Amino acid sequence: MTLAALRFAQQADDLEAAVMARLAEQAAELRGQLLVDLQQLRQEAMAEIAEMETQTISSLPGVPEAQPAMDSFSAALLEPTTAVRVNDCALHVHNHVLRQIPYFAALLEGQWQDAGAPKVNLPCSIEEFSLLLRRFYMGEPLGSAALPVDSCSSAIRLAAAAAMLLIDGSLPELSDILLASVKTAEDVKLSMAALGALPETLALTLRGIQESPELPSDVFEMIVDSRSSHSQEAASKILLSCRGRLDMSTLVKACGKLLEEASTQSWAAQLMREHLTCEHATEAFKAAGLACFGGPPHGNCVGTRRGPASKLYAEHVLRCAKAGSAKDAFWLGVAPPAAPEMATIKAKGGSCFWGNDEFNSFPITMFTSSTPADLLALAIQAVPHELPHIAAIMATMLPSQIASILNDDMLQALGVHLKLVIARLASDAHAALAWTSVIRLNLLPRESRRVLCAQLTSVLGAASPEVAVAIAGGIV
């Protein structure tokens, strides 16, 4: 190779090396710049996220600082749970509760300790065992509105399970629950068959039913003819001694008959409380032909019964609610008979008869302006699971009826289910205005408040200054 060729080759190698060095330098510079840009983008993104979080948190109520739990229920939730098997179903129960049940307490800490897998087979359903657990969690007695016992068979199973768990002595209400649950002849048979599985004290309670005297020859006549306080007291003792062996249809018929007269309505109420289930008591009201309870008083007209009867029926609805369900009784209180849909009572010569004068017509229902709204509010509060049904029922009422029973407590109890009720109330501006107050408008959800206030503008001139201002504010 010539000298010139060698020189050219060397120059080419030097140029290639210089180019590669320059490319490497530029690549390093570019990489560094990319890293800087990437870091800047990351910082900007983090700042934007932090700003969004700040804006979100600032729009929410502040989270309160944790405070030590003071009530027993909250304190129990801080304790660990133990899985217990009941009838092959695993339940996780707080140790605080298990220690109150001697059977499980022994498995947890005693000489029979088996905390790894405490289990028991009980003669009750899981739901009924859960009712026993809730008794210890809540402290409410069995049979109360919070812990209803709905049948004789359920009461017997609960008593037997309590005996097996050694807690029957801690549940003083068991005797009363057993006795009160025996309503029919079938209940008596169930009770007698279960005597051997119950503690002696509870068995004695049920054995007294079996040893009851013979039934009176004519229960119906005995009941309806007992008009004085002493005769009613005597009849009550006889009926109580025959608990569980009385014909329910006869009792329903007798109570319905007694409800037709104001002087015997309190006697009917006592009989229904002591001897009829909620369902049978509802049937008694239904059988009583209480159409006049919705009518205005006219002298000797049976419409004068509306006040006392409405109170009795409200008490009945509350009783049903405490037993776990009020929607059927509530519906009967709202719904008029199939025919006539509207009717009037006219006074003529001291007697009453039905007419069809549209000017004086009124709805035939058991809920009237005389109905104690506070009792209905308590009933609604006792059945939160039925609020959608009850709201739908109330939405079928006349606006004037809604206005007569929808008090502040009922407003708060219905909560999110108020929409249909308020829409129905708003369909009659005059009835709605009679019901409206500043406080009640403030209790309504915003959507329902706007619907109501929009309808109230047609009667704004009849509103008080304070209510008029509140109506205007409710629309804006």
User: Could you give the C-alpha distances from 249 to 152, 183, 234, 252, 315, in angstroms and in order?
Assistant: 19, 12, 21, 5, 22
Q: Strand ranges (DSSP E) for 229-372?
A: 342-348, 351-355, 362-363
Task: Please tell me the predicted confidence (pLDDT) of residue 390.
Answer: 93
Task: Please tell me the predicted confidence (pLDDT) of residue 273.
Answer: 87
Cα separation, 476 vs 472, in Å, equals 7
Q: Residue 93 phi/psi, 5° resolution?
A: -120, 140
Contact 259, 290 (CB under 8 A): yes
Domain boundaries 79-210, CATH class = alpha beta
Residue 114 Cα to chain centre, angstroms: 38
Nearest to 364 by CA among 263, 259, 289, 456: 289
Q: Residue 351 phi/psi, 5° resolution?
A: -115, 170
Residues 41-45: contacts with CB within 8 Å, 24+ apart?
none
Q: Spell out the domain ranges in the chain.
A: 1-39, 79-210
Angle at 42 between CA 36 and CA 44, to 5 degrees: 105
For the question of whether the overall pTM of this predicted structure is more than 0.75, the answer is no
Which residues in the chain show pLDDT less than 50? Answer: 58, 291-292, 294-305, 337-364
Nearest to 453 by CA among 438, 465, 83: 438
Cα separation, 391 vs 135, in Å, equals 30
